[in-house]
Amino acid sequence: MSMRIGGLASGIDTDTIIKDLMKAERIPLDKLEQDKTILEWQRDKFREINTIVAELDKMLLDMQLTSTYSTKKASSSMESAVTASGNASAGEGTYRINVTQLASSAINFSQTKLDRAGLNEAIQSYIDDPANLNANGEVTFSFFSYGEADEENNIPAGMQERIVILKQGDTIDDVASKINAADNNVRAFFDENSGRFMIETKRTGNYNTDENLYGGKEIGFNNTGFFNTVLKLDYTKEQGGEDAEFSYNGVSGFKSKDNSYTMNGITFQFTNETNGDAVLTLNNDVDAAVEKITEFVDKYNELIELLNETQTEEKYRDYPPLTDAQRDDMEEKEIELWEEKAKSGILRGDSIISSALFTLRQGWFKTVGSTGAFDLITDIGISTTRDYLDGGKLEINEDKLKEALQKDAESVYKLFAGEGETKGLIDHLDESLGNLESQIERRAGKSTDSALDNYTIGRRMDDLNDRIDAFEDRLTQTEDRYWRQFSAMEKAISMMNQQSAMLMSFGQ
């Protein structure tokens, strides 16, 4: 870069003059940058639309499930003892449940109070006794608990032996950890406060039904071995390990390993014995179905409002994007108000959005040819608003929708989800949303797209970037040329001043 001389000889404010000249030269560059900003705004608005589309798309799955329209609500005359819940296929009606016994886990504990130090000494004495060595020279003890069949290792279901290997230095905590590791269904620990070693099953229920095998206990062990001599346990003292027992509509003999039982789509939960019949009533939960449909309609209307807004908002052509220089001269509030108008209408007249609004609205008026009682969405109290300026937003007549669900929830489901090869309203909506989403992605890309050449707007932005870079290079060259010209002028004036001074000195 040549040396820049700023008005030393002429007295001219060269720097200001060149800045003013460059402002004029930058006008085409400002226009390019404004065009790029508009493309960025358009891209971001398109992606905002696709965000709502994605949220709505996730809700479509629920709208194709029978449970959305046939949620069951149960009441119980003994809420503190028995409750129920039903799936979509559960039969409505009244049920009588009499719980005579809750399912319980098995538990056993030391018959005498122990202390940690004494236990650790007893464990060490057991390990040190050669009589406790097995054929491999290991110190072990074992217990039995129920296990599932293991076909790979040819082990049948039933009471299975669990072997624990002890090592020098093991403490009571080590013993508990090794018991827990030997059987995932068993929990062992030493309770410091009570001075008891405890072992219990993690699951409820009676799995050992053989009274000849450890008296039908869930955790069996040798009463002359480690459990008895060191931990002071007696397998005959085990408590619990029982199945839940109840009667259903007067029929007794029902059992369950845990405190729940499912039949005919209804799951009964037991929390206490009933001392008589608990009366449970199961009805279709119309309010829950209306709430889910309303949530879906609200999200759909949010999309329509956003799409419609882009087509109806005013376009202010006298408010282009601000340049950096303009921003520097404005207050923050002024910038906010300006950009609000500059962004208004940036997608107005876009064919993707106008076509989507038409297709989405048209989809709701299709006739569904299922075997259900309803063929049109208006049959169940849902229609588009009367104001055409709303762009096809939906509104719900809640009373009519509740009446349809109470009368025939299955037909409401078929209207939305279809039946067999027959498409429902949600299928048509899914197609329209998928088409809209894919068109927007081709135009504006995804939020995860890092390369501009993956979508149409990005390629236009990439082209503008190249043009901006080239123009900035030209501006640099132009500014250098201006400085060279003014510098040459300054040098010429300086030389003239020197010659004039010499002539004047000769005249004296």
> What digits encode the pLDDT tens for the residues 134-178?
988 899 999 999 998 888 888 888 999 999 999 999 999 999 999
Q: Of 289, 391, 387, which is closest to residue 71 (Cα–Cα)?
A: 289
Give the residue-averaged pLDDT of 244-259.
Answer: 96
pLDDT score at 9: 54
* Stronger pLDDT, 387 or 53, i.e. the higher one: 53
Classify residue 54 by burial, with Cβ atoms within 10 Å: 0-12, 13-18, 19+: exposed
pLDDT at 278 over 90: yes
- Phi and psi dihedrals of 100, rounded to 5? -100, -15
CA–CA dist 433, 57 (Å, integer): 8
* Stronger pLDDT, 490 or 432, i.e. the higher one: 432
Chain mean pLDDT for the chain: 90
Q: How many residues does the structure list for the chain?
A: 508
How many other CB atoms sit within 10 Å of the CB of residue 128? 10
DSSP per position, 113-165: ---HHHHHHHHHHHHH-GGGB-TTS-EEEEEEEEE--BTTTTB-SEEEEEEEE
CA–CA dist 326, 338 (Å, integer): 11
DSSP β-bridge partners for residue 101: 245
Give the residue-averaged pLDDT of 222-239.
Answer: 95
Give the model confidence (pLDDT) of 26-53 as tens digits. Answer: 888 888 888 999 999 999 999 999 999 9
**Close Cβ partners of 4 (under 8 Å, ≥ 6 residues apart):** 483, 487
- Here the tokens at position 400 are 């009519």
Give the model confidence (pLDDT) of 184-207 as tens digits. Answer: 999 999 999 999 999 999 999 999
Give the residue-averaged pLDDT of 237-247.
Answer: 96
